[in-house]
Amino acid sequence: MAWDVFLSYCRSDTTPAEALAAELRARGLRVFQDEVGVHRFDSVSRTIMAELGRSRLLLAYYSHAYPTRRACQQELVTAFLAGQREGDPLRRVLVVNPERGTGHIEPIELRDARFWSPSAELRHLIEAVTRKVDELPTPIGGVDQRRAPLWLPAPAHRPPARFVGRTAELWRLHSALHPQSATLTEGGGEPVAVVHGVGGIGASSLVSEYARQFGATFPGGVFWLSAADPWPEQLTAIASALGADGDGHAADRVAVALEARREPCLWVVDGVPAGLPLDRVRRLLSPHPLAASVITTTDGSYAELGAGVALTELPAAQAIRLVLNQVDELAPGDRESAHKLVDAVGGHPGALLDLAASARSAGLDSVRRRLFSRDWPVLETTAKRLLAEVDGAGEAGLDVLRAVTAFAPDPLPLPVLDGLGPVGLAVDRLSRQSVVRLVGGGALEVPAVVAHVIRHSDPDPARHERISAAALAARRERDDFAVDDRERAAAFRVQVELAHRVPVRPLGGGGLREAISSLHSIFSFTREQLRECGPDSSQRFGEVAERLMEEVLRPFLSEWHPALRRFEDRTQFDDSAWDPTAELRNALDALREPLLAVIGDLARISGNPHGTRYL
């Protein structure tokens, strides 16, 4: 069956979308909805895309949730590109915007177009839809698909098999490469996009995924060059593949060949190093204006050449899915382990893929338990890459990262850096590489993965301790709340006790009864320190002490102390008694993370980093 309208919307908008569909049908329009159009037992994705091909117009119910749904974006891209091949990317798409603003609408062409709001009269939308449908004699599937884009040098640079998220960034990249499409509202500009972020954030993957989805936009070809490889050889290879052999500079021959083809194309330069003069980076761009240029880099300052597309960490839900997608068969507890890995290193794709690779042989739970171990560096690849990237900022740069990491996850006020000497240039270099970020106009923060690497892989642990201590002392002086000497001393005493107890340090063999007794004594010791602080002290130490006792120690002790005692008593009479020791060792392992977090909070109160090197 042929359809006039394909209604595209996410599940959270089902109620208003169904009401809209009913109104359109009442006016005689044939409307496809996946709830009513997909027959039982059919492949949903195959059926939906087939019905989209039989539809003349896509009507997108573009709520805040719409750009977060991959299926919706696949539908939108298909209709958008069909219109673009016909000369107008808006020819096959109309938008309903139920939100107040337009910032969530991508691509730029849709944001520039007029759209209907539910607060306006419905007849205006019906008239617009009817007028559009009358102008479209063929369905979306009848539009010439053309050939797949030519990749040079071959083979194509393929995206990850299971690319996750980044829908908004893909559209922002598309908008950056087509600034001429909305010059009235956005101002136009050069078709140059600079995709940047901290090393391992996935800039190359994003661009290759864009080329996969939007390749039909560039029938003249996708040219993928690496900044790390010899430049003349790459240009010569492209010129030869385009049939532009002969004398003269290779870039000139490529330009002549592109001029002869007269088709839009995409010019990608992957991995441009940080700190280069802009004039030198400019020379890496496409030699012909028909080719839109994309640069991937860690250096956000290159965005002056065009439009910047900044990549940050994946949101937690997408980061967890990225990890689980790498696991062939999920074991019990894998989802919880993935959650904890994401909590520890944030949504940094490179780090998460490193961890997932280790999990293929060891399991996610084992990787989670060993993430903080210096004896098994599961993030060694990520650590080496990040440390190599910050090497250009010198020792001053490492000192900045040490200080900011001591504050993490809280931002570090800029005046704290005054005690480190002249670090302005280092801060500027680290900021350009997205290793540190300025927040609130006067503080620095680091991505979680950077904090983890600095804590665990600092090439100078002794200096790390000194800088962390100085930063924590400065924090103590600058904090808005008052911490009296008794509270500071109490925090330090509990901090020292925790840092030298099982399971903060590896348990090794044996010692289960000693571990239980040790944690019992910590509970009693903490309660005594809290009592000695008295009711007049501030609440900071009290909050941490309460969390340690009631949320960390008490649940563990109430379960495992009686279980171990029952086992010890029964073994005197029954050799077949249930042995809980293996499970107890795992439980002690799992206790390490929350205890390390408590040590970090106590260090911020005491102003002393003792024990934080285990973090």
Q: Tell me the mean pLDDT in the region 136-153.
A: 74
Q: What is the mean pLDDT of the chain?
A: 81
pLDDT (tens digit per residue) in 295-310: 999 999 999 999 999 9
pLDDT (tens digit per residue) in 413-447: 888 888 787 888 988 889 888 899 888 778 899 99
Give backbone dihedrals phi and psi of 23, rounded to 5 degrees, phi first: -65, -40
Q: Tell me the mean pLDDT in the region 448-469.
A: 87
Say what the pTM is: 0.72
Query: Of 114-118, 163-167, 231-235, 513-517, which gets the smallest average pLDDT?
Result: 114-118
Query: Of 222-231, 459-468, 528-537, which gets the smallest average pLDDT?
Result: 528-537
Question: 151-310: which CATH architecture?
Answer: 3-Layer(aba) Sandwich (3.40)
Which amino acid, residue 197? G
Residue 186 has pLDDT above 70, yes or no: no
What string of DSSP letters covers 69-137? -HHHHHHHHHHHHHHHHTT-TTTTEEEE--SS-STT--SHHHHHS--B-TTS-HHHHHHHHHHHHHT--
Superfamily of domain 3-135: Toll/interleukin-1 receptor homology (TIR) domain (3.40.50.10140)
Q: Which has the higher per-residue pLDDT, 607 or 272?
A: 272
CB within 8 Å of 452: residues ≥ 6 apart: 344, 345, 351, 379
**31 touches 3 (CB < 8 A):** yes
User: Taking CA 503 as the corner, what is the angle to CA 499 and CA 506, rounded to the nearest 5 degrees?
Assistant: 95
Q: Which has the higher per-residue pLDDT, 409 or 513?
A: 409
Residue 283 has pLDDT above 90, yes or no: yes
Residue 184 has pLDDT above 50, yes or no: no
Residue 409 CB-density burial (10 A; 0-12 exposed, 13-18 middle, 19+ buried): exposed
Residue 571 has pLDDT above 70, yes or no: no
Q: Is 383 helix (H, G, I), strand (E, B) or coil?
A: helix
Report the candidate in 607, 600, 601 with the shortest Cα–Cα distance to residue 416: 607
Residue 512 has pLDDT above 70, yes or no: no
Q: Give the best-scoring range by mean pLDDT among 17-26, 109-118, 239-248, 574-583.
A: 17-26
For residue 279, what are its two tokens?
Answer: 């004039």
pLDDT score at 40? 39
CATH class of 381-482: mainly alpha
How many angstroms separate the CA atoms of 176 and 187, rounded? 11
Q: Is 376 helix (H, G, I), strand (E, B) or coil?
A: coil
Q: Tell me the mean pLDDT in the region 121-128.
A: 82
For residue 461, what are its two tokens?
Answer: 């642990």
C-alpha dihedral (48, 54, 56, 59), degrees to nearest 10: -10
Q: Which has the higher per-residue pLDDT, 87 or 253?
A: 253
pLDDT score at 108? 65
Q: Which has the higher per-residue pLDDT, 215 or 282?
A: 282
**Residue 17 CA, distance from chain mean position:** 30
User: Taking CA 337 as the corner, what is the angle to CA 364 and CA 498, rounded to the nearest 5 degrees?
Assistant: 110
pLDDT (tens digit per residue) in 5-48: 999 998 888 888 898 899 899 989 999 987 644 443 344 467 78
